[in-house]
Amino acid sequence: MNLRFSERTSGIKASEIRELLKLTERPDIISFAGGLPAPELFPIEQMAEVSVKVLKEDGRAALQYSTTEGYVPLREIIARQRMPKAGVSATIDNIMITHGSQQGLEFSAKIFIDKGDIIICESPSYLGALNAFKAYQPKFIEIPMDDNGMIVDELEKALEAHPEAKMIYTIPDFQNPSGKTMSVERRKRVAQLAKIYGIPVIEDCPYGELIFEGEVYPSIKSFDTEGYVVYLGTFSKTFCPGLRVGWVCADPEILQKYVIVKQGADLQCSSMAQRETAMFMQQYDLDEHIAKIKTIYKIRRDIMLQSIKDYFPSEVKYTCPKGGLFTWVELRKDLNAAQLLEEALKEKVAFVPGGSFFPNGGNENHFRLNYSNMNEQLIVEGIKRLGKVLRNYY
C-alpha cells in the first residue's frame, strides 16, 4: 500500500513492548502489567438493577443524543460530591464529561500544543498521556522526582529557562508509574508557578481517592486562584473503567475549548453510561464502594511489598506507595527491563518495562508492577518467579 499518512502519526510507532504485553492476556500468565482494577470488585448486581431502572424510567433520553457538556445530574454529582474531596469548590459550569480521563489528556494536547511546543512533565510519566501528546509533536522536558513527587525547584528552573513552555503535566497522587505522591507544599508551589509563568497545569487525578490511610490530598487545583489548573477526574479506578466516564474540571473559559474539541471528536459521551453512573451514585454510596476496594488494594500492596522484600535481591530498589495501583522497581543501571521481560515471560509472569515512561528515552533499568489486579496468592507466586529471574543478575 502506498498511502501518505500524516506527519503527526508517522512519528508514533507501535512499540515492541506492546506486542510482548499482548502475551500477558494469556490466562496462564501472572500479569502485573496492566493498570486494571480488580474485576471481582465491580458492583455487577447493583449495576444490573441500575441499568434496568435507567431504561424503564428514562429510556428515551438514555438512548437519545444529548449535550456535549454531559448529563446535568452527573455533572452536579461530580461538582458537589467528588470535587470537594480534592478541596475544589466547583459548579456544573466547571465540569464536562469525557470518555475517561484519557480523553481529557488527548484534548489538553489538542487545545494547548502546536508542533515543537514544550510540555513539562514528571520523569517518569504516564505512558498513555505521553503517547496522546506525541501526536501533537511536542518536545518534552522531564522533571526529576523524589519521595515527595516532582522536584518543584527543578520545575522552576525549567520554567525560568523555557518561559515559552506551553503546558505542565502532572499526576500528583500515587503516580503512574512511580507510585509517588507530591507533597502538599509542592502542590501549592506548582499552582503559584502556573500563575507566575502563565502556563496551564494539567492535573491528572485517577488515583487520589485510592489513598490507603488518611484523607485525600488537596489537589493542585485547590490552590489555583486564577484558573490555570485543569483537573482531570475519572471513575475508572474508583468504580468501573468500562463505562468510560471521566471529567474535566476547569475555568469556564478554558472548559469552552474542551467542549468545542469534544464536539469535533465524538459529540458527547454515552447518554446511557452517564445515566447509569449518576444513578449508581444516587442509589448507592460510592464512598462505601471505594472504602471496600481500598481495603483489598491495601492488602495486595502489603503482600506485594513483603514478597519483594522476601524474594528480590536486596540491592533492588522499589517504591512504597501510600495508595493507587503501582510500585516502581529500579534495577542496577546496566540492566535492561525490556530484556528481562522476555525472560520473565518464560516464567509466565509479566510487568511493564520502564523505558517508555520516559519521553526522552533512557532509564531502561526500571519496571512497573501493578498489585490491584491479581489475587494475594498469585502476587506471592509471581513475585517469587520474578525474584528468580532477577537473581540471575545479582
The phi and psi torsions of 248 (rounded to 5 degrees) equal -110, 135
Q: Which is nearer to ligand PMP, 210 or 308 (CB)?
A: 210
Q: Tell me the site size for ligand PMP, rule CB under 6 A.
A: 14
Q: How far is the CB of 35 from ligand PMP (least distance, A)?
A: 4
With CB under 6 A as the contact rule, the residue among 70, 179, 246, 359 that binds ligand PMP is 246
Q: Which long-range contacts (CB under 8 A, 24 or more apart) does 300-306 make?
A: 300/371, 300/372, 300/374, 300/375, 300/376, 300/379, 301/212, 301/327, 301/371, 303/371, 303/376, 303/379, 303/380, 304/369, 304/371, 304/379, 304/383
With CB under 6 A as the contact rule, the residue among 69, 122, 173, 204 that binds ligand PMP is 204
Convert 156-194 to b/e letters by CB count within 10 Å (16 or more is b). bebbeeeeebbbbbbbbbbbbbbbbbbbbebbbbbbbbb
Q: How far is the CB of 1 from ligand PMP (least distance, A)?
A: 31
Instruction: Please name the residues in contact with 261: beta carbons below 8 A apart, sequence gap of 6 or more.
Output: 107, 110, 111
Q: Which is nearer to ligand PMP, 127 or 199 (CB)?
A: 127
With CB under 6 A as the contact rule, the residue among 108, 170, 234, 372 that binds ligand PMP is 234
Residue 100 interacts with ligand PMP (CB under 6 A)? Answer: yes
Residue 373 interacts with ligand PMP (CB under 6 A)? Answer: no
Residue 324 interacts with ligand PMP (CB under 6 A)? Answer: no
- SS3 assignment, position 103: helix
Residue 179 interacts with ligand PMP (CB under 6 A)? Answer: no
Q: Which is nearer to ligand PMP, 102 or 123 (CB)?
A: 102
- Quick one: CA torsion of 43, 289, 381, 17, rounded to 10 degrees? 80
Convert 311-346 to b/e letters by CB count within 10 Å (16 or more is b). bbeeebebbebbbbbbbbbbbeeebebbebbeebbe
Residue 37 interacts with ligand PMP (CB under 6 A)? Answer: no
Please count the residues of the chain. 394
For residue 368, give the amino acid letter.
R
Residue 128 interacts with ligand PMP (CB under 6 A)? Answer: yes
**What's the grid cell of residue 219?**
489537589
With CB under 6 A as the contact rule, the residue among 31, 68, 123, 176 that binds ligand PMP is 176
Residue 200 interacts with ligand PMP (CB under 6 A)? Answer: no
Q: Which is nearer to ligand PMP, 121 or 171 (CB)?
A: 171
With CB under 6 A as the contact rule, the residue among 181, 236, 268, 356 that binds ligand PMP is 236
> Which region, judged by CB under 6 A, interacts with ligand PMP, from 73-81, 148-156, 214-222, 234-242?
234-242
Nearest-CB residue to ligand PMP? 100
With CB under 6 A as the contact rule, the residue among 241, 353, 354, 355 that binds ligand PMP is 241
Residue 123 interacts with ligand PMP (CB under 6 A)? Answer: no
Using CB under 6 A as the criterion, which residues of the chain lie in contact with ligand PMP when the complex forms? 35, 100-102, 126, 128, 171, 176, 204, 206, 234, 236, 241, 246
